[in-house]
Amino acid sequence: MEDIFNGAGKNYAYEIKGGVSLKGDIDISGSKNAALGVIAASIMVDGVCTLENVPDIVDVHVMFDLCRSLGATIDAIDEHTYRIDPTTINTYKASGPLVSRIRASYYLMGALLGRGGKASIRLPGGCNFGTRPIDLHLKAFQLMGAKGATPAEINSGIVNLEANPLHGARIYLDIVSVGATINAMLAACKAQGQTEIINAAKEPHIVDVANFLNSMGARIKGAGTDTIKITGVPVLPGNFTYSIIPDQIEAGTYMIAAAVTNGDVTIHNLIPTHMEPLSDKMREMGYQIEEGDESIRVYRANCEDTIYPTSVKTSPYPGFPTDLQPQTVVLLCSADGQSRMHENVWQNRFQYVPELAKMGANINVYERIAWINGKSSFRGAIVEATDLRAGAALVCAALEAEGTTYIMNAQRIDRGYEHIVRKLTALGATITRVNHAPEYNEEDTEA
């Protein structure tokens, strides 16, 4: 992989000299959030499996290391292909510091519970967007017969789950939750009898995890709709090769980067239907979006034309993805008039707005709504990536800005964007990784 691990555990910055229109072609990597779910699912398999199109990003390597810490044998065949043998797993406990480095470590609860009826996992870390409870995950496990799933039973931040036996259940999620849907699906695969998840999340990565499990021998129906039915099976034979879907959020970030720099970029290896919420808004704003079978070209017919303001509300798939909210706010800053962004998924996901203001953005936030006064001219500044997608938004703003921007804590961006320096450089950007200022040394936890 690229040199991102040379700085593992250390902080660094991206220096971006803006004002260059991005031009050319770019390939999208495998989906971070699908890969994290699929890797967790792979530890339930009773044989070996091979994963292709695995993104070469920090969070995925942390998830691999977590699975190795359980005893799994994981070998890289190449940069994006891994052979996983979970038959060597010898513990159901994961409580070390790796667990709190990624949010998705919570998938080990469902996977280990499904695998052997027991899981002992530290509560996960995560980007700070306000409270991030896992009550729905625990409720699902409890309905399936697991003991240890009530808040009172969580001991020193460790969830100790045990089911004897784990059985199917009807699970109603009163909030649409990606994590709870995947966790319930994982546990249900090997539970006795049938499980029904009602008001399930429908994100592309839910479907990808279900497709992976089905190819390993699971019986999951309805993934991608709001009711998922799973018939438990005693064995998941595995011995199959599976390719991770492209990353919807990486693709959207590059679409926005192309747009804000008045560029002309064709983004390959994406699924255009996954991009519809963003493509539709960008067309409404006046951008040209040309869809191919597995590509999208983004450009402006005439750079003098008006960019129209619009209103966006994030919501679960197929709604507008919250993980593109910060980047889209940068896009809305270039509109001719006032736009509105309503964050409907996370309680507090506008923490990056003061950073954008340092670059010249004129945004007023009131509770979950940001009012974006357009026609901002971004200028270079020293700013901080407060989390992964906030960092991606600052990269977009910096590419558009006049002058040089330093994005501190840029290691947070590398958690979810494969080879971002290499990819943007190939499109004509001037972006370099530099050592950070010493005052930026907070712990980084993740997405």
Tokens of 430: 């001037």
Smallest distance, Å, CB 109 to ligand EPZ? 11
Interface with ligand EPZ, residue 367, by CB under 6 A: no
Q: List all residues 6 or more positions away from 108 whose beta carbon is below 8 Å from its beta carbon.
A: 40, 43, 66, 70, 94, 99, 119, 121
Binding residue (CB under 6 A) for ligand EPZ from 50, 214, 322, 405: 322
Position with the least CB separation from ligand EPZ: 179
Instruction: Using the rule CB under 6 A, give the single segment among 133-141, 160-168, 226-234, 333-341 that binds ligand EPZ.
Output: 133-141
Short-list 377, 300, 308, CA closest to 336: 308
Interface with ligand EPZ, residue 134, by CB under 6 A: yes
3-state secondary structure of 59: helix
The rounded distance, in Å, linking the Cα atoms of 313 and 401 is: 26
Binding residue (CB under 6 A) for ligand EPZ from 41, 54, 345, 408: 345
Which C-beta is closer to ligand EPZ: that of 84 or that of 134?
134
Which C-beta is closer to ligand EPZ: that of 64 or that of 346?
346
Instruction: Using the rule CB under 6 A, give the single segment among 5-13, 86-94, 177-185, 405-413 that binds ligand EPZ.
Output: 177-185
Helix, strand, coil: what percent of the chain each, to 5? 35, 25, 40
Hey, which residues does 81 pair with through a beta bridge? 78
Answer yes or no: 67 catalytic.
Answer: no
Binding residue (CB under 6 A) for ligand EPZ from 127, 169, 267, 331: 127
Burial annotation 311-321 (CB, 10 A radius, 16+ → b, else e): ebebebbeebb
Binding residue (CB under 6 A) for ligand EPZ from 8, 76, 77, 175: 175
Contacting ligand EPZ within 84-103 (CB under 6 A): 103
**Long-range contact pairs involving 214-219 (C-beta distance under 8 Å, separation at least 24):** 215/240, 215/242, 216/41, 216/42, 216/44, 216/45, 216/49, 216/240, 216/242, 218/189
Residue with tokens 């005439």: 302
3-state secondary structure of 365: strand
Which is the catalytic residue, given 49, 67, 127, 333? 127
Contacting ligand EPZ within 26-85 (CB under 6 A): 32-33, 36
| Cβ atoms 372, 338 nearer than 8 A | yes
Which C-beta is closer to ligand EPZ: that of 62 or that of 335?
62
Which C-beta is closer to ligand EPZ: that of 129 or that of 242?
129
CA angle (336 as vertex; 331, 338 as ends), nearest 5: 80
Binding residue (CB under 6 A) for ligand EPZ from 80, 101, 137, 368: 137
Residue 354's CB is within 10 A of a number of other CB atoms, namely 14
- Cα distances (Å, whole numbers) of residue 32 to 157, 175, 382, 423: 26, 23, 28, 17
| Cβ atoms 89, 62 nearer than 8 A | no
Smallest distance, Å, CB 302 to ligand EPZ? 34
Smallest distance, Å, CB 203 to ligand EPZ? 6
Smallest distance, Å, CB 259 to ligand EPZ? 20
Smallest distance, Å, CB 233 to ligand EPZ? 25
Smallest distance, Å, CB 37 to ligand EPZ? 7
Hey, which residues does 17 pair with through a beta bridge? 404, 430
Instruction: Using the rule CB under 6 A, give the single segment among 134-142, 209-217, 328-336, 374-382 that binds ligand EPZ.
Output: 134-142
Instruction: Using the rule CB under 6 A, give the single segment among 129-137, 147-155, 329-337, 397-405 that binds ligand EPZ.
Output: 129-137
- Binding footprint of ligand EPZ on the chain (CB under 6 A): 32-33, 36, 103-104, 127, 132-137, 175, 177-180, 201, 322-323, 345-346, 388-389, 416, 447
Which residues have a catalytic role annotated?
127
